[in-house]
A and B are shown apart, each in its own frame.
Chain A
């Protein structure tokens, strides 16, 4: 896999550092909320924008569970994964055998991100229940043509419309630029508060693009979200640009007195090493859509004959083979993230990264090696 941040190196501790055992399961963390209990986060990894409509609802539900089983936070609406009369397994959770070998079952639920888009297409009130993170998405959706729009198949999945009378006659539907019920960024705070009230289990995040960071990020931070998600996947970025924007966003947030507010990044294609380097640069979690979307694309390619409409009126059943499929594709990469992340813990924050490139070292403020 291409290493976008290859000129950056994750450094070991200095040579004379005494031998200490690593901390237990350091990748497991919590999202601290402004109000309410912290939200557990099993891994610093999330699947930000899965193209669920490219596979059947049954397949999407199974894939969401399969990836959720691995501890990755997954974004999904109910309407992404099931028709109006069916409860997705991913949302309801499922009973599985106890891991301690006893003859008991435990109810397993999955960390879930609720994508709260400006248009709210496909969103139903039940989506709020039990979500871990609500993501108020201020970034605008582009379709494959480059328009700010949603594809017909996406809208059909969300709105469960019959194929004979699709929304907009089967054409694309324009995407919103900003929530229509919010009059300005300054008024966004009441929207954040509303979402907190709607979902008392969740942390409220706001996601935005990197285009006007210096102006927009402080204004967004001032609305007091529990976290920020920076979308760096919408434009083609060189590795140094990706690293610098992550670093810059963290600096801007720190300067806005939001140094305890998590910054999550959506970097586009990255390797496990890149993901951990982004964390060392200041991100708290990294989107691994490039890994997880492979599951969708492979499923799509092997099941082209299946209907992609929502119409699965019966209850979904989870087939554990989907979990094996997800584990087979993602397991090693997640383990690599866990291992590298664990190794970071024995190194001081400002000594975790270095570069042999003077440009990289200077731009990012990391140790110049050599």
Chain B
């Protein structure tokens, strides 16, 4: 096996339950720097694949997956060479999911941690209801990205559809392209130096090309007002 892959499994030969069991049995690396590498072949649009993984290994999946793949992931560092359906990485709390292709609606919905990176396009309601963690989309996102999100960060390399940031709370969106429309209560804000540095680092970590200076910042208006007040003062009511 090449590229340091020590274990390989096929989704054709194993049920999803068996596959997850096999992945969990693979001994984790003693080094945080170099995770044990696992290759998964035979992905062909299966729904609800590899949910609830909770093992510190690096998994490379070849092919396309259907809806809700990698939901509730913890610890695993996953790369999918292909497209994902709706709700990819739903409820992820730690680890990382990287999708080389496109993702459907609700990518990263209800995430509470970890990193989701989509190198193609993402559908509507990307990052909906997320409570923490980071989402990076190299291409465009659909309508209502970040709807109902309570926390975390969304980075959009391309354009966004309508009502970006609808009902969004303590969330920052960085966007490089055009926005069809912003939702009520969110606004474009200047990119501060410290955010520029932070975003630059995050882009590097997510393997997304580009300069942080190319991005603009979208935040709730109340969050901007709260920033303007000094720490320790009353937090403005958001509605």
Contacts and interface: CB of A to CB of B under 8 A. Distances in A.
Interface string B157-182: 00000000001011000000000000
B74 interface: yes
A180 B129 contact: yes
Nearest to B147: A180
A159 B167 contact: no
Interface in A7-27: none
Contact of A119 (B16, B85, B110): B110
B125 interface: yes
Interface residues of B, number: 43
Nearest to B68: A194
Interface stretch (A44-52, A171-179, A210-218): A171-179
B67 A194 contact: yes
Contacts of B202: none
Nearest to B169: A168
Interface stretch (B21-29, B47-55, B56-64): B47-55
Q: Which of A155, A180, A198 has the most CB of B within 10 A?
A: A180
A171 B237 contact: yes
Contacts of A168: 150, 169-170, 222, 237-239
A20 B72 CA distance: 53
B95 interface: no
A328 interface: no
Contacts of A182: 86-87, 105-106
A295 B225 CA distance: 41
A169 B71 contact: no
A263 B200 CA distance: 54
B224 interface: no
Contacts of A155: 150
A169 B236 contact: yes
Contacts of B109: 120, 179-181
Contact of B74 (A120, A125, A159, A181): A125
A187 interface: yes
Interface residues of A, number: 33
Interface in B115-148: 124-125, 128-129, 131, 144, 147-148
A35 to B, nearest CB: 12
A119 B66 contact: no
A119 B148 contact: yes
Contacts of B87: 181-182, 191, 194
B93 A180 contact: no
Interface in B1-59: 16, 47-48, 51-52
Contacts of A123: 91, 110
Interface in A240-277: none
Q: Which of B71, B110, B128 has the most CB of A within 10 A?
A: B110
A170 B234 CA distance: 11
Contacts of B112: 124
B77 interface: no
Contacts of A198: 48, 51-52, 71-72
B237 A181 contact: no
Given A128-B72, A181-B87, 4 more contacts: A120-B90, A120-B109, A182-B105, A183-B86
Interface of A: 118-121, 123-125, 128, 155, 159, 165-174, 176, 179-183, 187, 190-191, 193-194, 197-198
Interface of B: 16, 47-48, 51-52, 66-68, 71-72, 74, 85-87, 90-91, 93, 104-106, 109-110, 112, 124-125, 128-129, 131, 144, 147-148, 150-151, 167, 169-170, 222, 226, 235-239
12 contacts: A119-B110, A119-B148, A121-B131, A124-B112, A125-B91, A167-B169, A169-B238, A173-B167, A180-B106, A181-B86, A181-B125, A182-B86
